[in-house]
Amino acid sequence: MTGRGEVTTRRPVARAVAGIVAAAVALGVGELASVLVGPDSSPFLAVGSVTVDRSPAWAREFAITTFGTHDKPALFVGMSAVIVAIAALAGLMERPRGPYGSAILALLGVVGVSAAVSRPGATWTAALPTVVGVALGVVVLRLLTAAAVTPAPPASGASWPSRRRFLLLAGAAVAFAAGAGALGARAGQRLAGVLENRRGVTLPSVADRAAPIPAGADVAVPGGTSFLTPDDTFYRIDTALRVPRLRTDEWRLRIHGLVDRELTLTWDDLRRRTPIERAITLTCVSNDVGGSLAGNAVWIGYRVDELLDEVGVRPDADMLLSTSVDGFTVGTPVAVLRDGRDAMLAVAMNGEPLPLAHGFPVRQVVPGLYGFVSATKWVVDWELTRFDRAQAYWTRRGWAAQAPIKTASRIDVPAAFASVPAGRLVVAGTAWAQHRGIAAVEVRVDEGAWHAATLAPSYSVDTWRQWTWEWDASAGTHALQVRATDLDGSVQTPERRTPIPDGATGWHSRTITVER
């Protein structure tokens, strides 16, 4: 029988190993989790980077003169040695009733978290990989130290030697840590490579520039929708659990199917063509009445109609089936792509290469069609085909095959259920009917008479249009309602329909309280 006092001193090697394995699990899991959060959030790399940034000049000199170009591996070896020593100590100090070793791991976690959140551009989420990793590390430390000191109860008569049990557990944990770490490191390197590739992209110089934005296109109402949507607040909708990572040198667009001449474009081939720049408002078909799944950006890209002319579209082709690098597909009517509108293969958004989440390096932008039938991100394949032959991703799941954007209008100010003082009240919002254009917006209160809103200057038929309306608000609870009319003269329908299968309809309304 083993006495409690004896337990705490037994098997120092196994305990040290338990500590080291636990730290390995923490680091491996941290590495893997950092892939989801961001390349600078890996605890190991973050601590390494902070060490590099904070080390005095003489230390760097010493590292470079001693290790030359191997200074980075040398740093990693040095860090690993320190971590192994501390982790072994943690293993030796862990007690069933005194989790001193766990506390040491937690302290290492604090170091990792402070390093990760101090990296440039980091937010609090950078702490997550370390926190998750250390939490799992502590679990492993508890399990392994327990296994190191307590013989397992005999199972079905046979005795299960505790050494074997320990080795099995430790081996499994090491394999897990190594797998997670290697997977994370590989994915992290891939992401870092693509981000570096993106930083190196220079924007094409454009002769055919977007029209300047007229003064007043942005209504100066606090809480109103800005005419241009910055990349970081632009809505993002896609089926990608992990953002595809594709470098410009890997990118190809294969154009095939019902064409006279197949063509495979590289990034350089694309860049040799003549670009255009346009402001275009994108909208998601899933946007419900009053929803925010719409955004307006200035895009630089290459005309789709010119590329289609180059390959020679056969007369029987009526669909462009585009496929993204992750297999997502979109079907777009060839007629729409060739009717003169500014459909493009975009490479830039708001003066920057496309953000990874918005399709880097190349995506489609087609004015007037919902994103699911037009806006393929990370696009790598174009097949000219027919609507009676092929079905795209969302059409197979019950959505329409064709889906022009429906006229919509939205109240942005005042906020839903806002309380406002009686008197002069500015109501503001946006309206869109891409490729038809907005002719009028009207507002009414409590289902009374419609009043014409003041429209901001029109930019183009392919962008949304902001509006304001002033009301002498009287006390009480009121319902504001808005409707738009497009330049074809069609008034937005009041009929409420869900986004499925081809876009929501109905008037947006907002209830507010006016204080006396």
Q: Cα separation of 330 and 143, whole Å?
A: 50
Q: Answer whether 95's CB lies under 8 Å from 8's CB.
A: yes
Nearer residue to Mo ion within complex by CB, 204 or 404:
404
Which range binds ligand MTE by CB under 6 A, 24-32, 166-174, 374-382, 470-478? Answer: 374-382
Nearer residue to Mo ion within complex by CB, 284 or 461:
284
44, 166, 227, 234: which one contacts ligand MTE (CB under 6 A)?
Answer: 234
Nearer residue to ligand MTE within complex by CB, 332 or 376:
376
Q: Cα separation of 7 and 3, whole Å?
A: 6
**Residue 349: how many other CB atoms lie within 10 Å:** 24
Q: Which of residues 50-79 bind ligand MTE (CB under 6 A)?
A: none
Q: Is 391 helix (H, G, I), strand (E, B) or coil?
A: coil
CA neighbor of 228 nearest in space, from 211, 242, 240, 241: 211
CA neighbor of 359 nearest in space, from 236, 202, 229: 236
Q: How far is the CB of 496 from ligand MTE (least distance, A)?
A: 21
Structure tokens at 490: 């069609």
Q: Does 394 bind Mo ion (CB under 5 A)?
A: no
Nearer residue to ligand MTE within complex by CB, 234 or 459:
234
Q: Does 378 bind ligand MTE (CB under 6 A)?
A: yes
Q: How far is the CB of 86 from Mo ion (least distance, A)?
A: 49
Which range binds ligand MTE by CB under 6 A, 190-198, 231-239, 384-392, 475-483? Answer: 231-239
State whether the Cα torsion 457-435-312-257 is positive or negative.
positive
Which range binds ligand MTE by CB under 6 A, 204-212, 309-317, 375-383, 454-462? Answer: 375-383
- Beta strand 419-421 with 508-515: parallel, antiparallel or unpaired? parallel
Q: Answer whether 455's CB lies under 8 Å from 493's CB.
A: no
Q: How far is the CB of 317 from ligand MTE (least distance, A)?
A: 21
Q: Does 295 bind Mo ion (CB under 5 A)?
A: no
In the numeric block, the tokens 């997977």 are attached to 183
Q: What are the distances in angstroms from CA 178 to CA 14, 32, 185, 450, 477?
A: 19, 10, 10, 67, 62
Q: Does 248 bind ligand MTE (CB under 6 A)?
A: no
Which residues contact residue 340 at a Cβ distance below 8 angstroms, ignoring those fewer than 6 apart?
305
Cis-peptide, bond into residue 501, ω within 30° of zero: yes
- Beta strand 508-515 with 438-445: parallel, antiparallel or unpaired? unpaired
**Rounded CA Rg of the chain:** 30
Q: Is 15 helix (H, G, I), strand (E, B) or coil?
A: helix
CA neighbor of 512 nearest in space, from 402, 406, 455, 427: 427
166, 302, 328, 507: which one contacts ligand MTE (CB under 6 A)?
Answer: 328
- 332 bridge partner residues: 320
27, 88, 284, 484: which one contacts ligand MTE (CB under 6 A)?
Answer: 284
In the numeric block, the tokens 């209008």 are attached to 409
Q: Does 237 bind Mo ion (CB under 5 A)?
A: yes
236, 254, 338, 389: which one contacts ligand MTE (CB under 6 A)?
Answer: 236
Q: How far is the CB of 383 from ligand MTE (least distance, A)?
A: 15
> Contact letters (x/-) for ligand MTE, 287-326, by CB under 6 A?
-------------------------------------x-x
CA neighbor of 410 nearest in space, from 467, 471, 478: 467
> Contact letters (x/-) for Mo ion, 265-284, by CB under 5 A?
-------------------x
Nearer residue to ligand MTE within complex by CB, 247 or 358:
358
Which of Mo ion, ligand MTE, none does 377 bind, CB closer than 5 to 8 A by kind? Answer: ligand MTE
258, 282, 336, 445: which one contacts ligand MTE (CB under 6 A)?
Answer: 282
Residues binding ligand MTE (CB under 6 A): 234-240, 282, 284, 324, 326, 328, 358, 371-372, 375-378
Residues binding Mo ion (CB under 5 A): 237, 284, 371-372
